[in-house]
Structure 1
Amino acid sequence: MKLGMGDETSADRPIDPRPVLVVTGLVQEARIAAGPGMMVICSSSDPKQLRSLLTVFDPTSIRGVVSFGVAGGLDPSLKAGDIVVATEVTAGDARWLSGMSLREEHIARAALKKRRVVRGVLAGAEEVVVAQARKAALRMKTGAAAVDMESHIAAAYAAEYGLPFAALRVISDPAHRTLPSLAKDAIKPNGA
């Protein structure tokens, strides 16, 4: 699946030739997102590493930011494989609206194989949220549909530089599932 911005084909504006920056946590996500018009950064699911990568990145070289990859489910109605398109991202007291619309045909393509697509809030976390009880508490506190470790950083970066932002995340572990403790350390430093 390739991602795109909603206003690319406007007849009254020239097409911006700069790529969209796609922020991922895993190497496999980066491979999926890579393609023409995309510049991909893989954080290896390490928020510190992502922040470091973004400090040396030139924001004038891109036309928008998309957070893409997997997320933990917080909404009990979401199943593994459901897709969440962010309406906003929250972390602590901060909130960022999704200001870049993903084109409906791209969302429809993502929904192939009868995957459900919902729009909702994404919560940002600094570490993998493994316990069912922590997921429930985060849901209660934020009202978020899902949690990931990159979207809040990507949203803050986009806001800082006045760039459009969007996020598309696939539920990997539903709200009712507690992940094994090894999930916190399973990701290698290279994002594999």
Structure 2
Amino acid sequence: MIIVVTGLAFEARIAAGAGVTVICQQNATLADILVPALAEGCEGVVSFGTAGGLVDDLRPGTWVIARSVISAKRRFETDTRWSQTLRALLPEARYGDIAGVPEPVVDTAGKHALNRTTGAIAADMESQVVARLANARELPFVCCRVVIDPAERSLPEAALAGMRADGSTDIGAVLKSLLRHPGQLPGLLAVARDAAHAKKSLTRGRGRIGAGFGFATAA
């Protein structure tokens, strides 16, 4: 059994399939769910879903396969053989480091600064939790993500207001944010276009990855 970790509900729906158990939870409460799941036993762990781009040439919909996950305190190397299997299944993917962050990097300056300080080409909020817990249990793990917001895109408040801990969207909170600051609408529409492109790419790539996220092939 492979455990696949996502942060958003639509990512979890795409991740589901033969040979995997999907956990969908935001990073602040992810460990509370993932620790007991790992205790029940698994063969490997995947961090899957979307990520923010940190370099200008990563467009929405671009796949990134992590060479390592960089957190505030250390670097966690992904499983090399498994990552190479994913690269063969997704030959257009970029291979590089992914930064694990505790909260979204919302503006262009912050994204570029994170790239300069870590060398990472993308960032997400679940991979560092997956890396830390898998490493502690000596379990193989990989990280494969699709860019949803490019480095030059600053995220409006409304895009983040509706994120619930379980990965679902609180539409009411998004609308309230828009009512308070209606000038966010053009930026929110741009984010929605990027998200639609990323979702299509994630769905296509997931179909190519196949059952068990390629673990059996890599083993």
TM-score w.r.t. the length of structure 2 is 0.72
Report the alpha carbon displacement of residue 183 of structure 1 after superposing the two structures with TM: 2.4
Matched, 1:64 2:44: yes
Two-structure CA RMSD over aligned residues (Å): 1.8
- Determine if contact 1:127/1:184 at 8 Å carries over to the other structure: no
Where 2:37 maps in the other structure, the secondary structure is coil
Q: Which amino acid aligns with 2:123?
A: V
Any idea what the Cα deviations from partners look like across 1:140-183, whole Å, max 9, x if unmatched?
10010100000110011110000001000000011111111222
Matched, 1:122 2:102: no
Any idea what the Cα deviations from partners look like across 1:88-123, whole Å, max 9, x if unmatched?
000112110011534767545556xxxx41100000
**Which residue matches 1:33?**
15
- Determine if contact 1:130/1:183 at 8 Å carries over to the other structure: no
Distance 2:107 2:83 in 1: 34
**Which residue matches 2:167?**
191
Task: Say which of 77, 82, 92 aligns to 1:97.
Answer: 77
Distance 1:137 1:104 in 2: 29
Distance 1:141 1:103 in 2: 24
Report the alpha carbon displacement of residue 56 of structure 1 after superposing the two structures with TM: 2.2
Identity in percent: 40
Task: Say which of 46, 61, 74 aligns to 1:81.
Answer: 61
**Which residue matches 1:172?**
148
- Determine if contact 1:101/1:166 at 8 Å carries over to the other structure: no
- Determine if contact 1:74/1:144 at 8 Å carries over to the other structure: yes
Where 2:28 maps in the other structure, the secondary structure is helix
Where 1:61 maps in the other structure, the secondary structure is coil
Distance 2:153 2:131 in 1: 27
Report the alpha carbon displacement of residue 75 of structure 1 after superposing the two structures with TM: 1.6
Corresponding pairs, count: 168
Where 2:103 maps in the other structure, the secondary structure is coil
Tell me, which stretches of 5 or more residues in structure 1 are unaligned?
1-18
1:47 to 1:135, Cα distance in 2 relative to 1, 3 A: same
Tell me, which stretches of 5 or more residues in structure 2 are unaligned?
169-219
1:44-55 maps to which residues of 2 (within 5 A)? 46-55=26-35
**Which residue matches 1:151?**
127
Distance 1:97 1:106 in 2: 15
Q: Which has the higher strand share?
A: 1
- Determine if contact 2:29/2:165 at 8 Å carries over to the other structure: no
Q: Which has the higher helix share?
A: 2
